[in-house]
Structure 1
Amino acid sequence: MKTTATTNYPITKVREQFPALTRTYKGRPVAYFDGPGGSQVVGSAIQAIARYMERGGGNLHGAFPSSWETEEVISEARLAVADFLNVQAKEVAFGANMTTLTIAIANALGKKFKAGDEIVVTEMDHRANVDPWIMMAEDRGLTVRWVKVDTKMKTLDLTELDELINEKTKIVAVGMASNAIGTIVDLKPFAERAKKVGALLVADAVHAAPHLPIDRDDMQIDILLCSAYKFFGPHIGIAAIKEEIFKDLEPYKLTTSPSYYPDKLETGTQNHEGIAGIRPAIEFFAGLGEGETRREHIVSGMEHIEVHENSLANRLRDGLAAIEGVTVTQAAADVQKTPTVAFQVSGIEPGEICKKLAEDYSIFVAAGHFYASTLGDVLSVNDSGGWVRAGLAPYSTEEEVERLIDAIKNL
């Protein structure tokens, strides 16, 4: 994890690309710290969405230009995602969101499982990578096993991993990073154990994708899911499924729908205008990087962003932790984390803090368990309203971080 601050990060150039950053509230510029719940959209993606709609959209397989152009938009988006995740374009499917895609994939895979088979989920994950698998398990009579959270370390407890992932295991579902507290999960032990017993590794990269370069195959992931609205694009879910799995997948679909992949997972008419915004969102990363290929530009750009974000996140964690009455929920310093900071203030309900920050300081943060409800239960924060969560983004500034720290001091 790169954390050393850099003075040549083009923060002004970055901020100029996000129209939402010009917004004011109560007479002050808005400071957006709600990126983990949905980032602001880069201007090039907004323009691409509007351009698609202005030129006249068309459904697929038509004998007219707007139909051909729609197919080209989808193809370009698949190619961009392929470079983003280092996968094949034909392995990329789009959907309403990650949750909807995961439910569809779980139901399709479940057709091949039988009572007595097992799946593994974790206490740290967003429910979108937990409940679809549990629902499928209940329907098929499968056993659900849980990887527990080490409450002291704020990481997953791997001491019983060999017992949890065994010869009966069919699915191992793990999030790459906690969307609530930022802990980055080392997937290697899960991947190695899953491969040893013949199980599939399903990784939720929704929270990780905006912050970490991802190489699905190098990480030995079989099914990878993320969402474009978390990395500066539209509300579109993305699944990248290994070809050997995808070709045999039998999702629930209409009889007249395509039977070939990736289209067979894309039920109904897709959000074509939203898909038009995916390539520009990914190329935002590439625009900050160097290299010969788009993939190299993306990885390089994300590395520059990582340095900027982590420098600000470290300042925010240290600043908040130094305030009497503030408790920051975080893993140890040597554990990799996304620039996501979860905290509580003694005596003040998290939702009230968010209201106060918005009304008095024009700072936008969110409160709750953020669908990582089991983690909230395990760490005993749900009864007190969960956490206040502040997330850093490529467009975040040092001044905004200091504003937030000062505001919490004043509270």
Structure 2
Amino acid sequence: MTTHIDVERVREQFPALSRTHRGQQVVYLDGPGGSQVCQAAISAVSSYMSRGGGNLHGVFPTSVETEDILAQTRQSVGSLLNVPAEEVAFGPNMTTLNLAISRALARTWQPGDEIVVTELDHRANVDPWLRAAQDRGVTVKWLRVDTTTLTLDLKALTDLLSPRTRLVAVGLASNAVGTVTDVRQIASMAHAVGALIAVDAVHAAPHMAVDRDALDADILLCSAYKFFGPHVGIATLRRDVFESLDIYKLQPAPSYIPDKLETGTQNHAGIAGVGAAISYISTLGRGATLREKLVTAFDLIEAHEEALARRMRQALQDLPSVTLHAAAEGVRKTPTIAFTVASRAPREICQEMVDQYGIFIADGDFYATTLAHKLGLGQVGGFVRAGLAPYNTSAEVDAFLDALTRIVKRGS
């Protein structure tokens, strides 16, 4: 049985990895903002367009083929997230889908009801709920992040919940610092008071096997452009929640799930690419079913990425003038490395890395604005963030660490 990823074989499936910048081979460490796209997804998008696309509900072949692609991709996403295909909806991105879901769900809220959001999350799983609460006169409570441990203070959640709590929104993994949150525990606490739980799995989905029902989530969202596919958002809602949603939609549009959430014409070519990206991931694993192959693939992906991430974190901790922003060793994390360099703006570090070494890393608060503010980084440019993917190599980690060491020494 395969016990590790053949990185060179993986790299062959990503055409973008051949890119150079100023004569140097590009090192892509910007995966947390969006992965590179695998050849299977590129080919699926191109094939759909070149064969002729068609809108839905027609009798002609391109329409029928499009409906088949959507059905097949729902099945694939169902295997990815371990949910029924009919509970999978597509949209432009996670944020747009969550705005639609929050607006619809809030129609059942009353003044005096309460919701809980967190200080660790990307604003895509905060602001849609804040705006919905504002529209309905609902009280917002914030679950604190411990700025020392970079984890949520789950003990404080007990005091935030009440019989008036309608929803808890939480991220499975922080897109800024990588902390993986115990969503199952939060869901248990939320359900005990009759509240729903909405989970942002955008940052988690590229790095680990996600099981919506094992997490006990009522709503879970992710985006294919983070796991080697095109820019397509994905939402999956538990059937009873989904069917009860009074979605803002056009009158003639379907009122049944999942179509009622897919307002307007979808990105059919992109959805074809989503299915192909999931199929590609499955080739890295083993098993009798697509789900089994995906789970074993993510076990290998996580092991590969964590080994590289551990080296990076340790080296950064040993580098003078560098502050690593990460949870403790025993806390599960994605391979997302956030750090700051004393007396240097994050943008300056990123600019030198790309200009001099061809290394692509990013700077900013990455829409985790509350976390950045609480860490005192909101006004100084946020973090520098590097992230790992299955196509990253040990040599690339060495190149990153060598380049950063040179930059830090020059600036000291």
Superposition TM-score tier, normalisation by shorter sequence: over 0.9
Matches within 5 A, 1:40-55: 40-55=36-51
Secondary structure at 2:141 match in 1? strand
* Structure 2 partner of 1:120: 116
1:408 alignment partner in structure 2: 404
What does 1:7-406 align with in structure 2 at a 5 Å threshold?
A: 8-406=4-402
Q: What do the CA deviations read for 1:64-103 (whole angstroms, capped 9, x no partner)?
A: 0000000011011100000000000000000010000000
Q: How far off is 1:199 after superposition?
A: 0.5
* Equivalent pair of 2:144/2:156 in contact (CA under 8 Å): no
Aligned partners of 1:262 and 1:197: how far apart in 2? 27
Correspondence for 1:3: none
In 1, Cα distance between equivalents of 2:3 and 2:281: 18
Is the partner of 1:93 in helix, strand or coil? strand
Secondary structure of the structure 1 residue equivalent to 2:108: coil
**Residue identity opposite 1:32 in structure 2:** Y
Give 1:329's aligned amino acid: H
SS of the equivalent of 2:166 reads: strand
Provide the aligned C-alpha RMSD in A. 0.9
2:54–2:66: 8 Å Cα contact kept in structure 1? Answer: yes
Question: Which secondary structure does the structure 2 equivalent of 1:250 belong to?
Answer: coil
Q: CA deviation at 1:189?
A: 2.1
Q: 1:289-325: CA deviations, max 9, x gaps?
A: 1111010000000100111000000011111111110
The worse-fitting range, judged by mean Cα deviation, of 31-40 and 160-169 is 160-169
Letter in 2 for 1:357: M
Secondary structure, aligned partner of 2:177: coil
Structure 1 residues 293 and 7, CA gap change in structure 2 (3 angstroms): closer
- The SS at the match of 1:193 is helix
3-state DSSP class of the match of 1:275?
Answer: helix
Cα distance in 2 between the residues matched to 1:144 and 1:39: 34
Change (3 A) 1:31 1:239: same
Partners in 2 of 1:270 and 1:305 — Cα distance?
A: 30
Amino acid at match of 2:122: H
Indicate the SS of the match to 1:306.
helix
Using the TM superposition, give the Cα deviation of residue 170 of structure 1 relative to its aligned residue in structure 2, in angstroms.
Answer: 0.4
Structure-1 separation of matches of 2:134 and 2:315: 45
SS at 2:221 equivalent: strand
SS at match of 1:12: helix
Cα distance in structure 2, aligned partners of 1:22 and 1:42:
13
SS at match of 2:229: coil
Question: Is the contact between residue 4 and residue 300 of structure 2 (CA under 8 Å) also seen in structure 1?
Answer: no
**What TM-score results when the alignment is normalised by the length of structure 2?**
0.98
Alpha-carbon distance in structure 2 between the residues aligned to 1:357 and 1:59: 45
Relative to the length of structure 1, the TM-score reads: 0.98
Alpha-carbon displacement from aligned partner over 1:191-214 (angstroms, at most 9, x marks no partner): 111111111010000000000111
Q: Give the C-alpha shift of residue 8 in structure 1.
A: 4.2
* Counterpart Cα distance in 2 of 1:100 and 1:9: 34
Aligned-partner residue type, residue 343 of structure 2: G
The answer to whether the 8 A contact 2:184-2:214 is kept is no
Q: Which amino acid aligns with 2:334?
A: T
Distance 1:241 1:7, change over 3 A: closer
d(CA) in 1 for partners of 2:404, 2:191? 47
Tell me, in whole angstroms, the C-alpha distance in 2 between the residues paired with 1:398 and 1:376: 29
Deviations 1:331-389 (A, max 9, x none): 11011000000001111100011111000000000000000000000111112111000
Equivalents in 1 of 2:256, 2:183: separation in Å? 30
State the Cα distance separating 1:7 from its structure 2 match.
7.7
In 2, Cα distance between equivalents of 1:380 and 1:165: 28
Structure 2: gaps spanning 5 or more residues: 408-412
